[in-house]
Amino acid sequence: MSDEQVSPDPTSPDLHGALVEIRRSIESLAHRFRRVALSPSSLGPRVAAEAPEERDAFTVGEEILAIPSSGLEPSQVFSLAMDRVARVLTADRAMLFTWDALASRLVPRAGRGFRRDDLETISIKAGEGLVGQAFQDERLTRVSGGAPRIVEDPFLALFPVSDAVAVPVRSGGSALGILYAGRRAPRPPFSEAEVLLLLVIADRVGNALGHRDAIETTRGHIGRLRELEVFLGHVLVGQDMEAVLARACEVACRLAEARVAAIGVPGGTGGLALAAGMGLSADALDTIRVDSARGLTGEMFATQRPAACRDIQGRAGSEDDFLLQVGLRACLAVPVRLRRQTVGALYVGDPEARDFSADQIEAVQVLASMLALGMENNRLYGEVQGALQGLERAQEQLVQTSSARAAGAMAGGIANEFNNVLAIVLGKTQLMLSRVPDGPLREDLADIEEAGWRAADIVRRLQGFAAVDGQATALREGVMNLILNAIDAMPQGGRLGLTARRVDTGVELQVSDTGEGIREDIRRRMFDPFFTTRAPHRTGLGLSVVQGVVSRHRGSVHVRSEPGGGTTVTLWFPVASARAVEVPPPAAEQAKAAALSDIASILVLEDEDRIRTMLVEALASAGHRVESATDGLTGLARFQGGAFDVVLTDLSLPECSGLDVASSVKRLRPDTPVILITGWGHLLDPEKLREAGVDLMLVKPFRLERVLAVLADALRLRPSA
């Protein structure tokens, strides 16, 4: 006889088929048992004497299958199983083990042939001895005879038997415990039929454990849903946020069956600050700052998903993790996300190592989502309340500001339109004067020209009211534009700052916001006329006006911003103001025009038909070759296909602005002069115009002599042949 005997593999097709057949039908089981010869000689003299003759296989199967898989407490099912193993299989020793996840050991739940004290002291590691090996391998394991393995097994050495069988108790596809049975000599080893019955008993116990787990899981789901339902009532609008955060920590501990919970929110110095907690000292909440790039928190931010750790003490790189510093071992960090961004973290943990179940993690995730919505609702509610409370105080100031802005915008728009009309009237009048002989008609045209220039002077004063007259109104309008831009950058609300102070030999004015910030590519163009990211609600002239005001006061503008980090615009003005540059008198312009001798090829880009026609006619009358286009893209296409000495372009063009045209011309042919036509000339920053590629400027309305004089200046800018 061999020292060790291993029963047939329960996963083999024959045995598995027999087991399925037994489970499905009592009748089939009874029929099988009736055919099994359980003779008294095979059971030994003692069993033969004790077993009644009328006890047949059907009775045995009936007793085993009478073990209920539901309706009883697990301890009752365990007791019935031990009774059947000891009585029906005539085992001298029987014990039912279940896995204790917290202790990581198999512990006995019921037994026969052992003292009560034994049940309290026995525990077996996975893989240790016969019982531990059967659990680890999840397969039936058996030893019989005087095998050395029995001597080496601490459990079998302490409770010796001649034949021992360990059967896994399964549920849900995994082993939950072990059913053990042993016989002492001179009893014969367990027969194959008896081992099969042991498998059936283990299966009944497994079903009972699975039913118990299903009930506990369902109860857990219901309990967690109730917790979340109650918490939802605490995150409604108007609740105190500190109380909501504290409540969330309490609920998190119950959902995850943990002792400690905390909520981290963005801190003022970077990372996270603990805004609420449970199971932590007040000192820890006040002093701890969480590095969002390190440890378990760093993993959570990197993956944007929950990060769990069974024992953070054994986690590499977590030596300075605050979770470890506060004495936790089992930890779970769940992101608090709002609008696809992580705005905080919800932590739960325990001082002992343990695993968090998938249901617990999912429940804490739902709680974190509710918390994010509650935080957002609270923020919005506070903003609305603050706005309502401050509305009455700010109403008068708002009306004044809106009126001033509306008047400025209206004045600027009217002035620009009048400039276009006056450019046509004066241009056509001057062309007619050059062709009409002396007489009453010429005198009438002269009167029209004089009235037109008076109107142009009124328009210039109107533009001065709109933005830049070098006085308090201009500065106020510039600051107003900065404030409105800051408000636009904070659609969800934020903090607007306005400060002024004297520095060195000037005055510094700062307008700051905590809004969305400005990307680098936008910051490079933010002062360009008509450039805006908020069309059609904004015209793109506000910051150009600011730049013009500052430039004409010999000041400077500095912008500090980064996406998501807010924006600060600093204006600096010297104590002494600069004088405005005077326009050369018409006589000087006529002298320049008279000096014009070169015949040039000129490209005119103007979307106003009459202004374009007037310019083309005037330049052609002076002997130049002239081509024109109504939009920027068409004009650039003609420029690329021709040879032009000078380009005249309007500032506001369809498709692309005059500044874009100037930049493209300089990129294609750097030596070609560019003249910018605009009604906003005195509002624009000359430095910005030079950076865009503009060489000279022709301000509407203009005299024809002025056109020829500016053209002469442009032709002189060309490099010598």
Same domain, residue pair 512 and 637: no
Contacts 24+ apart (CB under 8 A), 143-148: 143/4, 143/5, 143/6, 144/4, 144/5, 144/189, 145/1, 145/2, 145/3, 145/4, 145/5, 146/3, 147/3, 147/4, 148/3
The 10 Å Cβ neighbour count of residue 596 is 18
Among all chains, which residue has been given the structure tokens 């312009």?
589
Extract the tokens encoding 40.
């008294």
Q: What is the CA radius of gyration of the chain?
A: 46
* Highest mean pLDDT of the ranges 145-159, 240-254, 660-674: 660-674
**Each residue of 168-182: pLDDT tens digit?**
998 878 899 999 999
Rounded to two decimals, what is the model's pTM?
A: 0.41
The pLDDT confidence band at residue 393, using thresholds 50, 70 and 90, is low
What pLDDT does residue 403 have?
Answer: 53
- Phi, psi (degrees; rounded to nearest 5) at 114: -125, 155
- Rounded CA-CA distance 608/457 in Å is 22
Tens-place pLDDT, residues 566-624: 899 888 888 754 343 334 445 444 444 444 446 899 999 998 888 888 889 889 988 99
Among the ranges given (211-215, 394-398, 436-440, 657-661), the one the predictor scored with the smallest mean pLDDT:
394-398
The verdict on 18 and 119 lying in the same domain is: yes
- Could you give the CA distance from residue 444 to residue 450 in angstroms, rounded to a whole number? 10
Q: How far is it, in rounded angstroms, from Cα 81 to Cα 74?
A: 10
pLDDT per residue over 273-327, tens digit each? Answer: 888 889 888 888 888 888 888 888 888 888 989 999 988 888 877 666 788 888 8
Q: Which has more pLDDT, 404 or 380?
A: 380
- Give the per-residue pLDDT at 505: 75
Least confident of 10-19, 441-450, 520-529, 696-705: 10-19
Instruction: Out of 379-383, 416-420, 488-492, pick the least confident.
Output: 416-420
Same-domain pairing of 562 and 622: no
SS3 272: strand
pLDDT of residue 394: 57
Query: Tens digit of pLDDT for each residue in 559-576?
Result: 888 888 889 988 888 875
Residues 556 and 674 in one domain: no
Amino acid in the structure at residue 313: Q
pLDDT band, residue 684 (cuts 50/70/90): confident
Nearest to 663 by CA among 519, 524, 518, 520: 524
**31-89: per-residue pLDDT in tens?**
444 444 343 433 344 443 344 333 455 566 566 666 766 666 777 877 888 888 878 78
Q: What span, in angstroms and rounded, lies between the C-alpha atoms of 379 and 605?
A: 51
Tokens of 681: 């000339």
What does the alpha-carbon distance between residue 674 and residue 714 come to, in Å, rounded to a whole number?
A: 8
* Residue among 118, 101, 112 at smallest CA distance from 175: 101
Rounded CA-CA distance 616/424 in Å is 12
Token readout for 292 is 């969002």
Same-domain status, 498 and 601: no
Q: Residue 264's domain is classified under what CATH number?
A: 3.30.450.40
Q: Given a cut of 90, is residue 132 above it in pLDDT? A: yes
pLDDT at 106: 95
**Residue 355 shares a structural domain with residue 493:** no
51 shares its domain with 72: yes
Among 91, 137, 98, 139, which residue's Cα sits nearest to residue 119? 98
Work out the burial of residue 539: count CB atoms within 10 Å of its CB; fewer than 13 is exposed, 13-18 middle, 19 or more buried: middle
Q: One-letter amino acid identity for 563? A: P
Instruction: Express each pLDDT in 506-537 by its tens digit.
Output: 888 889 998 888 888 787 777 776 667 765 55
Q: Are 653 and 631 in contact (CB under 8 A)?
A: yes
Tracing tokens 């087991």 back to the chain, one arrives at 19
Write down the pLDDT at residue 458.
63
DSSP secondary structure of 425-494: HHHHHHHHHTTSPSSHHHHHHHHHHHHHHHHHHHHHHHHHHHT-SSSHHHHHHHHHHHHHHHHHT-TT--
- The enclosing domain of 665 has a CATH number of 3.40.50.2300
Residue 687 located in a structural domain: yes
Report helix, strand and coil shares of the chain as percent, to nearest 5. Answer: 50, 20, 30
Of 348-362, 588-602, 683-697, which gets the smallest average pLDDT? 588-602
The answer for residues whose C-beta is within 8 angstroms of residue 240's C-beta and 6 or more apart is: none
Number of folded domains in the chain?
4
| Percentage of the chain lying above the pLDDT 90 cut | 17
Say if CB 131 and CB 155 are below 8 A apart: yes
User: How far, in Å, CA of 182 to CA of 134, rounded?
Assistant: 15
Verify that 620 and 677 share a domain, yes or no.
yes
Quick one: what percent of the chain has pLDDT higher than 70? Answer: 72
- Work out the average pLDDT over 256-277: 86
Instruction: Tell me if 386 is assigned to some domain.
Output: no
- Token pair 């950076």 is found at 691
Of 331-335, 339-343, 407-411, 702-706, which has the strongest mean pLDDT?
Answer: 331-335
Tell me the angle at which helices 358-433 and 192-232 cross, rounded to the nearest 10 degrees. Answer: 40
pLDDT band of residue 440 (cuts 50, 70, 90) is confident
Do 479 and 557 belong to one domain? yes
Mean pLDDT of 702-718: 87
CB atoms within 10 A of CB 550: 20
Structure tokens at 547: 């730049």
Average pLDDT over residues 410-427: 66
542 and 638 in a single domain? The answer is: no
pLDDT value for 147: 53
Query: Are 138 and 269 in the same domain?
Result: no
Other beta carbons within 10 Å of 291: 14
Instruction: Identify the domain containing residue 198 by its residue range.
Output: 13-215
Query: Cα–Cα distance between 645 and 643 in angstroms, integer?
Result: 7
The mean pLDDT of the chain is 77
Which residue type is seen at 299?
E
Q: Report pLDDT for 537.
A: 57
pLDDT value at residue 1:
35
CA 348/CA 367 separation, integer angstroms: 12
Within-domain flag for 431: no
Beta strands in 172-319 (DSSP E): 174-183, 260-266, 272-278, 289-290, 307-309
Over range 380-384, report the average pLDDT: 77
Tell which residue, 373, 378, 307, has the closest CA to residue 338: 373
- Are 45 and 174 in the same domain? yes
| Span 480-490, average pLDDT | 83
